Amino acid sequence: MLTKNNEETIGDALLSVQELVSDIIIVDNGSLDSTLNIAKKYNARIITYKGKNLGEQRLLGLKHVKTVWVLVLDADERLSGDLQNEIKNIFITKYQEPSTRNFPSAYYIPYQNHFLGKPLSHGGENYKMLRIFRKNSVSIEPNLVHEGFKILKGKVGELNGKIFHYSYRSLPQMFGKFHDYALRDAEQKFKKGEQSSLKKMIMYPIHMFYSRFIKDMGYKDGIYRIFLDLGFAYMEYITYLSLALKNLEAKHHL
Protein backbone atom coordinates (compact mmCIF):
# COMPACT_ATOMS: atom_id res chain seq x y z
CA MET A 1 0.00 0.00 0.00
CA LEU A 2 1.29 3.43 -0.98
CA THR A 3 0.45 6.26 1.39
CA LYS A 4 0.68 10.01 1.82
CA ASN A 5 -1.67 11.73 4.28
CA ASN A 6 -4.41 9.09 4.04
CA GLU A 7 -5.75 9.21 7.59
CA GLU A 8 -9.30 9.58 6.25
CA THR A 9 -9.37 6.21 4.49
CA ILE A 10 -6.47 3.95 5.48
CA GLY A 11 -8.20 2.49 8.54
CA ASP A 12 -11.07 1.04 6.49
CA ALA A 13 -8.61 -0.23 3.88
CA LEU A 14 -6.50 -2.13 6.41
CA LEU A 15 -9.55 -3.39 8.29
CA SER A 16 -10.79 -5.04 5.09
CA VAL A 17 -7.62 -7.12 4.70
CA GLN A 18 -6.51 -7.86 8.27
CA GLU A 19 -7.94 -11.40 8.31
CA LEU A 20 -6.49 -12.29 4.90
CA VAL A 21 -2.84 -11.26 5.03
CA SER A 22 0.17 -12.24 7.13
CA ASP A 23 2.23 -9.13 6.39
CA ILE A 24 1.32 -5.51 5.62
CA ILE A 25 3.83 -3.25 3.88
CA ILE A 26 3.23 0.51 3.79
CA VAL A 27 5.42 2.60 1.49
CA ASP A 28 4.94 6.12 2.77
CA ASN A 29 5.84 9.32 0.97
CA GLY A 30 6.09 11.81 3.81
CA SER A 31 2.73 11.64 5.59
CA LEU A 32 2.25 14.45 8.10
CA ASP A 33 -1.12 13.35 9.52
CA SER A 34 -2.00 10.24 11.55
CA THR A 35 -1.67 7.83 8.61
CA LEU A 36 1.35 6.00 10.03
CA ASN A 37 -0.09 5.83 13.55
CA ILE A 38 -3.16 4.09 12.14
CA ALA A 39 -0.96 1.73 10.08
CA LYS A 40 1.03 0.77 13.18
CA LYS A 41 -2.18 -0.37 14.88
CA TYR A 42 -2.35 -3.07 12.19
CA ASN A 43 1.30 -4.03 12.75
CA ALA A 44 2.27 -2.74 9.33
CA ARG A 45 5.89 -2.55 8.24
CA ILE A 46 6.57 1.03 7.17
CA ILE A 47 9.03 1.84 4.39
CA THR A 48 9.92 5.47 3.65
CA TYR A 49 10.03 6.74 0.07
CA LYS A 50 11.00 10.23 -1.09
CA GLY A 51 10.11 11.15 -4.65
CA LYS A 52 7.25 11.55 -7.10
CA ASN A 53 7.45 8.32 -9.11
CA LEU A 54 4.58 6.00 -8.17
CA GLY A 55 6.11 3.13 -10.13
CA GLU A 56 9.36 3.37 -8.18
CA GLN A 57 7.37 3.60 -4.96
CA ARG A 58 5.54 0.35 -5.83
CA LEU A 59 8.80 -1.37 -6.80
CA LEU A 60 10.29 -0.43 -3.44
CA GLY A 61 7.36 -2.07 -1.69
CA LEU A 62 7.66 -5.26 -3.75
CA LYS A 63 11.34 -5.58 -2.84
CA HIS A 64 10.31 -5.94 0.81
CA VAL A 65 7.67 -8.62 0.19
CA LYS A 66 8.54 -11.94 1.85
CA THR A 67 5.43 -13.91 0.89
CA VAL A 68 4.73 -15.83 -2.32
CA TRP A 69 1.51 -13.96 -3.06
CA VAL A 70 0.92 -10.21 -3.08
CA LEU A 71 -2.30 -8.21 -2.73
CA VAL A 72 -1.99 -4.58 -3.81
CA LEU A 73 -4.48 -2.14 -2.31
CA ASP A 74 -4.47 1.65 -2.29
CA ALA A 75 -5.25 3.57 0.88
CA ASP A 76 -8.58 4.81 -0.52
CA GLU A 77 -9.73 1.31 -1.47
CA ARG A 78 -11.22 -1.56 0.50
CA LEU A 79 -12.23 -5.15 -0.20
CA SER A 80 -15.94 -5.84 -0.41
CA GLY A 81 -17.31 -8.61 1.80
CA ASP A 82 -17.87 -10.79 -1.28
CA LEU A 83 -14.25 -10.34 -2.35
CA GLN A 84 -12.95 -11.16 1.13
CA ASN A 85 -14.91 -14.43 1.12
CA GLU A 86 -13.79 -15.24 -2.41
CA ILE A 87 -10.12 -14.76 -1.53
CA LYS A 88 -10.50 -16.92 1.57
CA ASN A 89 -12.11 -19.67 -0.49
CA ILE A 90 -9.41 -19.64 -3.17
CA PHE A 91 -6.28 -19.26 -1.10
CA ILE A 92 -7.26 -21.22 1.99
CA THR A 93 -9.18 -24.04 0.31
CA LYS A 94 -8.46 -24.46 -3.38
CA TYR A 95 -4.81 -23.37 -3.33
CA GLN A 96 -3.95 -26.20 -0.95
CA GLU A 97 -5.54 -28.93 -3.06
CA PRO A 98 -3.20 -31.17 -5.16
CA SER A 99 -5.36 -30.65 -8.26
CA THR A 100 -4.46 -26.95 -8.49
CA ARG A 101 -1.12 -27.29 -10.27
CA ASN A 102 -2.50 -25.04 -13.02
CA PHE A 103 -3.39 -22.35 -10.50
CA PRO A 104 -3.31 -18.83 -12.04
CA SER A 105 -0.26 -16.68 -11.29
CA ALA A 106 -2.33 -13.51 -11.04
CA TYR A 107 -5.91 -12.28 -10.74
CA TYR A 108 -7.81 -9.32 -12.10
CA ILE A 109 -10.27 -7.75 -9.66
CA PRO A 110 -13.24 -5.58 -10.73
CA TYR A 111 -13.62 -2.11 -9.24
CA GLN A 112 -16.63 -0.21 -7.94
CA ASN A 113 -15.76 3.48 -7.85
CA HIS A 114 -17.59 5.99 -5.66
CA PHE A 115 -18.16 9.72 -6.11
CA LEU A 116 -19.25 11.75 -3.07
CA GLY A 117 -20.09 8.46 -1.36
CA LYS A 118 -22.32 7.16 -4.17
CA PRO A 119 -21.41 4.13 -6.33
CA LEU A 120 -20.76 4.69 -10.03
CA SER A 121 -21.67 2.22 -12.77
CA HIS A 122 -21.13 4.08 -16.06
CA GLY A 123 -18.80 6.41 -17.93
CA GLY A 124 -15.53 4.53 -17.61
CA GLU A 125 -15.84 3.85 -13.89
CA ASN A 126 -16.29 0.08 -14.23
CA TYR A 127 -12.99 -1.66 -14.88
CA LYS A 128 -10.70 -4.37 -13.52
CA MET A 129 -7.06 -4.30 -12.46
CA LEU A 130 -4.32 -6.82 -11.72
CA ARG A 131 -4.20 -6.75 -7.94
CA ILE A 132 -3.35 -10.27 -6.67
CA PHE A 133 -0.31 -12.06 -8.05
CA ARG A 134 2.72 -14.20 -7.31
CA LYS A 135 5.57 -11.87 -6.43
CA ASN A 136 7.82 -12.96 -9.30
CA SER A 137 5.11 -13.16 -11.97
CA VAL A 138 4.73 -9.43 -12.73
CA SER A 139 6.69 -6.35 -13.67
CA ILE A 140 5.93 -2.69 -12.98
CA GLU A 141 6.50 0.25 -15.28
CA PRO A 142 8.35 2.89 -13.19
CA ASN A 143 6.06 5.70 -14.33
CA LEU A 144 5.18 8.93 -12.55
CA VAL A 145 1.50 8.00 -12.99
CA HIS A 146 -0.46 5.06 -14.39
CA GLU A 147 2.06 2.59 -13.00
CA GLY A 148 0.49 -0.64 -14.17
CA PHE A 149 1.40 -4.25 -13.47
CA LYS A 150 2.28 -6.48 -16.40
CA ILE A 151 2.07 -10.26 -16.18
CA LEU A 152 5.32 -12.01 -17.10
CA LYS A 153 4.42 -15.67 -16.77
CA GLY A 154 1.58 -17.99 -15.88
CA LYS A 155 -2.16 -17.90 -16.34
CA VAL A 156 -4.33 -14.97 -15.33
CA GLY A 157 -7.65 -15.44 -13.56
CA GLU A 158 -10.45 -13.05 -12.68
CA LEU A 159 -12.36 -12.70 -9.43
CA ASN A 160 -16.00 -11.67 -9.07
CA GLY A 161 -15.95 -9.75 -5.80
CA LYS A 162 -15.14 -6.05 -6.06
CA ILE A 163 -12.71 -3.55 -4.66
CA PHE A 164 -14.60 -0.47 -3.49
CA HIS A 165 -12.68 2.67 -4.48
CA TYR A 166 -13.34 5.98 -2.71
CA SER A 167 -11.13 8.19 -4.86
CA TYR A 168 -13.54 11.14 -5.19
CA ARG A 169 -14.73 11.98 -1.69
CA SER A 170 -15.29 15.74 -2.02
CA LEU A 171 -14.95 18.31 -4.79
CA PRO A 172 -11.86 20.06 -3.29
CA GLN A 173 -10.16 16.69 -2.68
CA MET A 174 -11.06 15.47 -6.16
CA PHE A 175 -9.78 18.57 -7.98
CA GLY A 176 -6.62 18.55 -5.87
CA LYS A 177 -5.98 14.95 -6.85
CA PHE A 178 -6.64 15.64 -10.53
CA HIS A 179 -4.31 18.65 -10.44
CA ASP A 180 -1.50 16.55 -8.96
CA TYR A 181 -2.06 13.77 -11.53
CA ALA A 182 -2.04 16.33 -14.35
CA LEU A 183 1.33 17.73 -13.30
CA ARG A 184 2.79 14.23 -13.06
CA ASP A 185 1.36 13.26 -16.43
CA ALA A 186 2.72 16.42 -18.05
CA GLU A 187 6.18 15.66 -16.69
CA GLN A 188 5.95 12.12 -18.02
CA LYS A 189 4.82 13.27 -21.48
CA PHE A 190 7.57 15.89 -21.56
CA LYS A 191 10.24 13.27 -20.84
CA LYS A 192 8.89 11.22 -23.75
CA GLY A 193 9.19 14.20 -26.07
CA GLU A 194 5.50 14.95 -26.58
CA GLN A 195 4.54 18.45 -27.69
CA SER A 196 1.50 20.37 -26.50
CA SER A 197 -0.61 22.68 -28.64
CA LEU A 198 -3.57 25.04 -28.40
CA LYS A 199 -5.69 22.38 -30.10
CA LYS A 200 -4.80 19.80 -27.45
CA MET A 201 -5.52 22.26 -24.62
CA ILE A 202 -8.98 23.00 -26.03
CA MET A 203 -10.13 19.83 -27.75
CA TYR A 204 -8.78 17.12 -25.42
CA PRO A 205 -10.72 18.37 -22.35
CA ILE A 206 -13.91 18.66 -24.43
CA HIS A 207 -13.42 15.17 -25.83
CA MET A 208 -12.73 13.77 -22.35
CA PHE A 209 -15.97 15.20 -20.97
CA TYR A 210 -18.02 14.08 -23.99
CA SER A 211 -16.58 10.55 -23.91
CA ARG A 212 -17.26 10.00 -20.22
CA PHE A 213 -20.53 11.83 -19.61
CA ILE A 214 -22.27 11.39 -22.99
CA LYS A 215 -20.74 8.61 -25.10
CA ASP A 216 -20.12 6.20 -22.19
CA MET A 217 -23.37 7.30 -20.53
CA GLY A 218 -21.97 8.68 -17.32
CA TYR A 219 -25.17 10.69 -17.02
CA LYS A 220 -26.97 7.46 -16.07
CA ASP A 221 -25.30 7.68 -12.66
CA GLY A 222 -27.16 10.96 -12.06
CA ILE A 223 -26.75 14.60 -12.98
CA TYR A 224 -24.43 15.14 -9.98
CA ARG A 225 -21.93 13.04 -11.90
CA ILE A 226 -21.30 16.02 -14.24
CA PHE A 227 -18.86 17.46 -11.69
CA LEU A 228 -16.71 14.34 -11.85
CA ASP A 229 -16.42 14.41 -15.62
CA LEU A 230 -15.73 18.14 -15.58
CA GLY A 231 -12.93 17.22 -13.20
CA PHE A 232 -11.49 14.81 -15.76
CA ALA A 233 -11.71 17.55 -18.39
CA TYR A 234 -9.90 19.91 -16.01
CA MET A 235 -7.16 17.31 -15.57
CA GLU A 236 -6.67 17.11 -19.36
CA TYR A 237 -6.48 20.90 -19.61
CA ILE A 238 -3.90 21.23 -16.80
CA THR A 239 -1.86 18.38 -18.28
CA TYR A 240 -1.45 20.05 -21.66
CA LEU A 241 -1.13 23.55 -20.23
CA SER A 242 1.70 22.36 -18.02
CA LEU A 243 3.25 20.46 -20.94
CA ALA A 244 3.07 23.61 -23.09
CA LEU A 245 4.94 25.57 -20.42
CA LYS A 246 7.59 22.85 -20.22
CA ASN A 247 7.93 22.82 -24.03
CA LEU A 248 8.31 26.60 -24.04
CA GLU A 249 10.89 26.57 -21.26
CA ALA A 250 12.88 23.88 -23.08
CA LYS A 251 12.97 25.94 -26.29
CA HIS A 252 14.32 28.93 -24.42
CA HIS A 253 17.17 26.82 -23.07
CA LEU A 254 18.24 25.64 -26.55
The per-residue pLDDT for 53 is 82
- Tell me the average pLDDT across 152-181: 94
How remote is the C-alpha of 92 from its chain's centroid? 27
Burial class (CB in 10 A: 0-12, 13-18, 19+), 191: exposed
Say if residue 144's pLDDT is above 80: no
The per-residue pLDDT for 136 is 87
- Tell me the average pLDDT across 233-252: 95
Q: Binning pLDDT at 50, 70 and 90, where does residue 223 land?
A: very high
> For residue range 42-93, what is the model confidence (pLDDT) as tens digits?
999 999 999 888 888 898 999 999 999 999 999 999 999 999 999 999 887 7
Q: How far apart are CA 45 and CA 23, in angstroms?
A: 8
Give me the chain's average pLDDT, please: 92
User: 2-167 in CATH: which number?
Assistant: 3.90.550.10
pTM: 0.89
